[in-house]
Amino acid sequence: MHVRLVKSFSFDAAHHLPCFPEGHKCRAMHGHTYTVDVVLEGALAEGEHYLIDFADVKAAIEPVRKRIDHQCLNDVPGLEVPTVERIAAWLWEELAAALPMIAEIIVHESPTARCEYRGPAMAPASPGSGQRAEGRDGRL
């Protein structure tokens, strides 16, 4: 049997995004209550009843969560430009060794905005592939 498990956690943090143009609201220091979904995927071997104990997942997440909770993300090494995309990739890198079954990190910046990251091996769509990417404002 093949399964996907999701363990969610949240953290509060401030950031500013120097990559945005002057006058853009995200250039100023502001904060979010982020919700993160850590998706694990794998097959249960014959006779097994669960993929991983959720308590073990929480134990792997907690030290990472503590490093970013109530912090200015720009001050965290590796998150100097903490866009939601960079936060998702950073979390993957921080959790991958402890959670080798990681399949996806979903970072919710707000109830209506999120980034879904499926790891470094996921190549972007090539030009002319017919796939289109949405901009940050939801427009194509």
Which sequence positions are flagged as catalytic?
26, 70, 109
Q: How far apart are CA 110 and CA 118, in angstroms?
A: 20
* Residue recorded with tokens 């950031």: 15
Residue whose structure tokens are 């120097």? 18
DSSP string, 91-136: HHHHHTTT-TTEEEEEEEEETTEEEEE--TT-PPPPTTSS-----T
